[in-house]
Structure 1
Amino acid sequence: MVARTSGRCDIALVHAERGARLAPASLARAQLHAWALLPVLARLQRADEADQALRTALTELEADPSGTAPGRFGFDEPELALHQAEAHLALGRHQQARVRAEVSAASCPDGTGGWTAATLVLAQAEAVDSPQDAAQRALHVLDRIPAARLRSTARTRLNKLARVLPDGPGAELTERLRTLPTAIDHHGHAI
């Protein structure tokens, strides 16, 4: 995750492939395929391999003996749908991203980190065809989630969205982000 986030996709791919190879069957393998392998392959525009990683994740999740109950520690179906949505988004599949983000958001309690992530990925998917809706969705997140509870990943998604929205629909979002208080860590330091 660190390598992928810092833009070192080749290194992230090596780690993801190794982890997927070594992971035991079921939940751990599903998670590694969806959380590590799928996003880096999508970012590298390796669509066929990304689709295969997704198929493996789905197969392994279905085979998991602990069931598919939401909220299982570490990985569940709403999180898988979120990873699918982000991969589709990276591959330019905006309609598929929208559908999977909607599933993820609907499966998460309002106001949670999962709901926030899925809602912002949904807004990113809408930005191409419905920029006004995308901006309103992002503003709703800012209205709903206190700045102190807004995760750094949510801030990243909001800033990315603001950069792609046209000036009209994105103006209020850009201004709200400009005036958003600085994020702080659990020690009270700015991050």
Structure 2
Amino acid sequence: MGWLSALLGNLAYHLDDVSGARVHLDLDTAATYGARTGDRNLEAWAWGAQSMVARTSCRIDTAVEHAERGASAAPSGRVCAQLHAWALLPALAASGRNDDADRALTTALTELEAAGEPEAPGRFGFDAAELALHQAEAYLALGRSVDARSRAESSLAECTGGTPGWAAASLVLAQAEAAHTPQDAALRAHHVLDHVPAARLRSTARARLSHLAEALPDHDGAVRADLAERLGTLPAPIDAHGQALTS
């Protein structure tokens, strides 16, 4: 039941239903079931997901607290690496804590190397592409665009075209390119929109597209306006009743 609740919370989050995500993740559900049953993987993942939701809602202090709780619950190895890279690293970066973010990344890399475990892609898994993606976004938050671009390129190289991971890596790379090569960044965004149907665009991809449109420099107004216009035509993923608005 705990893992089902975690899955439903994750689904709600990616459909931009933040209140639904918080119900399944926050309110006596996934994390609590993990703690009650001694499933540390579930408990850690649920706290990490709560941190992700809080960060999206700009509750950064809460995001750090949830991430720290998840990291402390995580068993050593891949799960510990995941909580440090997916939850703690971006939360600390969002709060501008550069040194602490670097330490979280170092812990993630050390845990992965020491564990020697095979990668586990998937909804509750963690692999090289995801690690590089979280690094890239943290570097963006910390203003380290060169590092962000390098790690986003590494993430993209590990992804299969057209997948959510591919879209995420492409859009983070575009954000890293925005200041210096805005036309390349906009073309990358249009490429994602050409290859991922609107019904399959996750809320995270939509957010990255919006951030990219805002990051494109004003002096290249036509490029920025073209992307903003296209984003304005995207239908919402769900209506107020949770029903899909696209087929």
Both structures adopt the same fold (TM-score exceeding 0.5): yes
**Amino acid aligned to 2:192:** V
CA shift in 2, pair 1:19/1:146, >3 Å: same
Which of 154, 171, 180 is residue 129 of structure 1 equivalent to?
Answer: 180
When the two structures are aligned, how many residues end up with a matched partner? 191
Normalised to the residue count of structure 2, the TM-score between the two structures is 0.73
Aligned to 2:125: 74
Deviation at 1:68, TM superposition (A): 3.4
Query: Which moves more between the two structures, 12-21 or 113-122?
Result: 12-21
Aligned CA-pair RMSD: 1.9
Aligned to 1:100: 151
Deviation at 1:69, TM superposition (A): 6.2
Which of 168, 172, 175 is residue 229 of structure 2 equivalent to?
Answer: 175
Query: Which moves more between the two structures, 72-81 or 83-92?
Result: 72-81
Q: What are the within-5 Å matches in structure 2 for residues 18-167 of structure 1?
A: 18-68=69-119, 73-165=124-216, 166=218, 167=221
Name which one, 1 or 2, has greater alpha-carbon Rg: 2
Structure 1, unaligned stretches of length 5 or more?
none
Query: Which moves more between the two structures, 13-22 or 82-91?
Result: 13-22
Deviation at 1:144, TM superposition (A): 0.9
CA shift in 2, pair 1:100/1:8, >3 Å: same
Structure 1 runs, 4 residues or longer, greater than 6 Å off: none
CA shift in 2, pair 1:65/1:127, >3 Å: same
Q: Secondary structure at the match of 1:188?
A: coil
User: How much identity, in percent, do the aligned residues show?
Assistant: 65
Normalised to the residue count of structure 1, the TM-score between the two structures is 0.93
CA shift in 2, pair 1:72/1:145, >3 Å: closer
Structure 2, unaligned stretches of length 5 or more?
1-51
